[in-house]
Structure 1
């Protein structure tokens, strides 16, 4: 039994050796060695959407990951996670990068983020038809029940902004929308591109951009490591893609795939708002 245990231990060590070597060399070395760029995906349209029939992932974040994987000449592999577990998943090397992850001060303590943004969006709210609220302050009342997605930057923002409103936290955007449709909450706070998709599917309520409207830069999180090759490459790639209008292009393509007319809808490039 002792000899067998030693053989099994040695076999396991040999199997893990390439991955351990790649990790020691940094994320870029690991990606090139494995031939895979693993991206974290969490259910949240239009960024990440898993078709219930085919189980295939689509969305702006998936399309962005495919573009970057193609640039590296590797395969893009989606790895399912949640927004609340995204930081831990990156730290545990379950995936290499997660798009549409806002660089909050808390996350910066645990992850690396490029200096250049991925794109911009604004906080919005799906409210009941006929709502007279036009500002965030007008939504912050004791009788208003607001839903947010747990672990997102919106969760933090709403918690900081709202002193009176009742805040309910859900594991995904879809769960929050379902609670709104069932009348369990009065408003859902998400970023405006997500609300556009949700509203088009739900066909109830009104999408509101409460005042003040401030552009929010989103990014992508990566593991913290000594080398900067992967981080520098992501930073340069983001700048090039944003300058070329690629985020808007991918957003428009996704809306069209859902039979939503993208004309008149604020895109992801703030300079065009």
Structure 2
């Protein structure tokens, strides 16, 4: 494991140890019911979260999932702006109750909780030059290749572990990474395929591919560690029902449609339909 990853893990464990677990009486479910609000962490990352610059309204697959779950509890969904790098600390500090599209890495499991059921699945993709002949991850790992990733994401960790030769450039958001690609400061951008599809449709530059080997990656919902399992159990059951009903695909296709992007031929978020 790289030194940066070790430092993050140590900080997360230290932070977690300093934060007392909520008791059953003051647990998240009781808190949500008392306040009438289910707070979800949001950050600029389409198609999961998008903030309209004019109305400042948040939309996206993660937002829609939050609205569905808040409706199930009979409460209001409230977005709380954060970043991927600060998502774990934000949950621990009780700044928000859920963070959607947070991969359940072993590092994160030391500091926060995750339900057993997945939120949905996606695959690691790459935005490369139009004339690129690359088809595998191995071909991307060479000293001349400049790869852009979003700092603090599971992709950051994956690429750091996978790529021993390539130059890894880290950016604070998906948009910044793609802007660097457009400016020629990186040769490829690695993000999960749904995000890359949205970015490509806007950029109209390069091409999106799923380098081999292609493996489904499970993503989840992060929540605080606490004594009571009531909230985690409810989240777990709700996610299972939504996934089995194909809701993740439904919300993803609806978001693409809202951006005038065709979902035809695009792998969805339910791996069984790939």
Could you say whether these structures have the same fold, taking a TM-score greater than 0.5 normalized by the shorter chain as the test? yes
Aligned to 2:268, what secondary structure does the other structure show?
Answer: coil
| Contact 1:22/1:30 (<8 A) preserved | no
Bigger Rg, which one: 1
Q: 1:99-129: per-residue Cα shift (whole Å, max 9, x none)?
A: 0000000000001000000000000000011
SS of the residue corresponding to residue 25 of structure 1 reads: coil
Normalising by structure 1, what TM-score? 0.92
**Corresponding residue of 1:185:** 186
Identify unmatched segments of 5+ residues in structure 1: 1-20
Q: CA deviation at 1:24?
A: 5.1
Secondary structure of 2:123's counterpart equals: strand
The answer as to whether partners of 2:23 and 2:228 remain within 8 angstroms in 1 is no
Aligned to 2:271: 270
Supply the distance in 1 between the matched residues of 2:189 and 2:156 (Cα, whole angstroms): 11
d(CA) in 2 for partners of 1:212 and 1:80? 34
Specify the SS of the correspondent of 1:194: helix
Partners of 1:22 and 1:33 within 8 A in 2: no
Instruction: Please name the residue that 2:68 is paired with.
Output: 67
Deviation digits for residues 161-204 of structure 1 (CA, Å, limit 9, x no counterpart): 00000000000000000000000000000000000000000000
Given that 2:84 and 2:153 are in contact with CA atoms closer than 8 Å, whether structure 1 keeps it comes out as yes
* Preserved CA contact (<8 Å) 2:38 2:78: yes
Determine the structure 1 residue equivalent to 2:128.
127
SS of structure 2 residue aligned to 1:236: helix
Instruction: Provide the C-alpha distance between the structure 2 equivalents of 1:240 and 1:39, rounded to a whole number of angstroms.
Output: 20
SS in 2 for 1:98: strand
Q: Which residue of 2 aligns with 1:237?
A: 238
> What are the equivalent positions in structure 2 for 1:1-273 lying under 5 Å apart?
25-273=26-274
RMSD value over aligned CA atoms? Answer: 1.3
Shift of 1:25: 2.0
1:3 equivalent in structure 2: none
Distance in 2 (alpha carbons) for counterparts of 1:58 and 1:164: 38
Q: C-alpha separation between the residues in 1 aligned to 2:259 and 2:205?
A: 17
* Structure 2 residue runs without a partner (length 5+): 1-21
2:202 aligns to what SS in structure 1?
Answer: helix
* Alpha-carbon distance, 1:81 to partner: 0.1
Return the alpha-carbon distance in structure 2 between the equivalents of residues 154 and 22 of structure 1: 34
Give the conservation status (yes or no) of the 8 Å contact 1:40–1:96: yes
Runs of at least 4 residues off by over 3 Å: 21-24
Q: 1-side partners of 2:55 and 2:240: how far apart?
A: 33
Asked if structure 2 preserves the Cα contact closer than 8 Å seen for 1:27 and 1:96, the reply is yes
- Cα offset for 1:138? 0.0
CA distance in 2 between partners of 1:171 and 1:52 (Å): 18
Contact 2:149 2:190 in 1 (8 A): yes
Deviations 1:124-174 (A, max 9, x none): 000011111110000000000000000000000000000000000000000
Is contact 2:23–2:227 with CA below 8 Å preserved after alignment? Answer: no
Displacement, 1:23? 8.2
SS of structure 2 residue aligned to 1:218: strand
CA–CA separation in structure 2 for the residues paired with 1:43 and 1:28: 27
The Cα of 1:263 is off from its aligned counterpart by 1.2
